[in-house]
Amino acid sequence: MSDEQKETDVFAGLVGIELSMERFDLGDGVSISQAHAHLVNPFLVAFASSQEEGFPAKFMGSGEKIGVDLTAELCVPGKFPIGRWNNPINVIRWILAMLRLWASPNISAPVISDISLRQAQPAGDNEGRLMPFETAPRVLKIEEPAGRKVDAKCLDWIKSNWRYAAALRKEHKELHLAIEALDQAQFMRDPSLALVSLWGALENIFSPTKTELRFRLSALVASYLEAPGPKRLELQRHVARLYDARSAPSNGGAEDDPAVLKDTFELLRRVIVSIIDRRHVPSKEELEANLFGVTETRFD
């Protein structure tokens, strides 16, 4: 999808999602709709030079064929006010990140196109282009591959927040890095690297210094997410245990524990959702005041 195609509608075929409605308007003309297609991704070997005109007569499959069912499509219309987004692909990437954050982390878009999946079958061979998009395999599997039913209430949250959250991300580098870490952790080949990345994002938000990092970070996270009381203490101890487990892979220690990676993923997800819901990235001073019960903060 090049720059000269900015006036063309751009579609992303989705997997890992089941919509409970036919179509949902996400605002600014962006929509998500039910769709049905099967994407087959075989690796092919051609027995002729790629410089020859046309296609070689002989192809042979290489390896196991990979197939996925596309169950929905995201549409960014050509009339979308691109502005600071630069191109519609950036809009698709951001809404995918929001869908994975709020609806289901299992959602991905293995294909993008300039034609709707609904129109592609009856269309002529040259009337649309389909291109591979998110094709990296998942290492961290948060949910079963079947995904989760997504209803209007779920999509209402994304509709209300995706534009404001994008502006907030642009203003605050720590939020930008946190969302990137969360969104890309599932696709990292090394679970230890994913765990360190998730904790790096948490440290960037909650710990300006490295002094007493374990207690400081666990206390600030717990006080940010829970009201004073037993639940706050329970969460502080849980975060401290997760931080201890994080230290092993970052220092070349014990084997990875999948539960630790999943729990850390969920912890960072909770923090990001809370920031978006409050429409405010807390400063270090506000976090410290909140820890000691000072009420002049915006966390209520």
Please give the pLDDT value at position 41: 66
Q: How far apart are CA 197 and CA 139, in angstroms?
A: 14
Confidence label for 102 from pLDDT (cuts 50, 70 and 90): very high
Please give the pLDDT value at position 2: 45
Helices (H), 130-283: 152-171, 173-185, 191-206, 213-225, 230-250, 258-278
HSE-up (13 A, CA, CB side) for residue 297: 20
Q: Name all contacts of 129-133 with Cβ < 8 Å and 24+ positions apart.
A: 131/1, 132/41, 133/12, 133/109
Confidence label for 279 from pLDDT (cuts 50, 70 and 90): very high
Q: How far apart are CA 230 and CA 234, in angstroms?
A: 6
pTM over 0.85: no
Confidence label for 5 from pLDDT (cuts 50, 70 and 90): very low
**Interval 227-238: pLDDT, tens:** 999 999 999 999
**Interval 215-267: pLDDT, tens:** 889 999 999 999 999 999 999 999 999 988 876 655 554 456 788 889 999 99
Q: Name all contacts of 3-6 with Cβ < 8 Å and 24+ positions apart.
A: 3/87, 5/114, 6/78, 6/82, 6/87, 6/88
pLDDT at 3 over 50: no
Q: How far is CA 33 from CA 26, 41, 98, 156, 162, in A?
A: 11, 23, 16, 14, 17
Dihedrals φ, ψ of 62, to 5°? -125, 115
Confidence label for 48 from pLDDT (cuts 50, 70 and 90): low
**Interval 8-30: pLDDT, tens:** 899 999 999 999 999 999 999 99
Per the model's pLDDT, the better-predicted residue between 99 and 86 turns out to be 99
pLDDT at 58 over 70: no
| Mean of per-residue pLDDT scores for the chain | 84
Please give the pLDDT value at position 117: 86
pLDDT at 53 over 60: no
Q: How far apart are CA 179 and CA 193, in angstroms?
A: 16
Q: How far is CA 285 from CA 69, 208, 276, 282, 292, in A?
A: 48, 10, 19, 8, 11
**Interval 160-215: pLDDT, tens:** 999 999 999 999 999 999 999 999 998 888 888 899 999 999 999 987 666 578 88
Given a contact cutoff of 8 angstroms between Cβ atoms, the answer to whether 149 and 18 are in contact is yes
Dihedrals φ, ψ of 22, to 5°? -70, -45
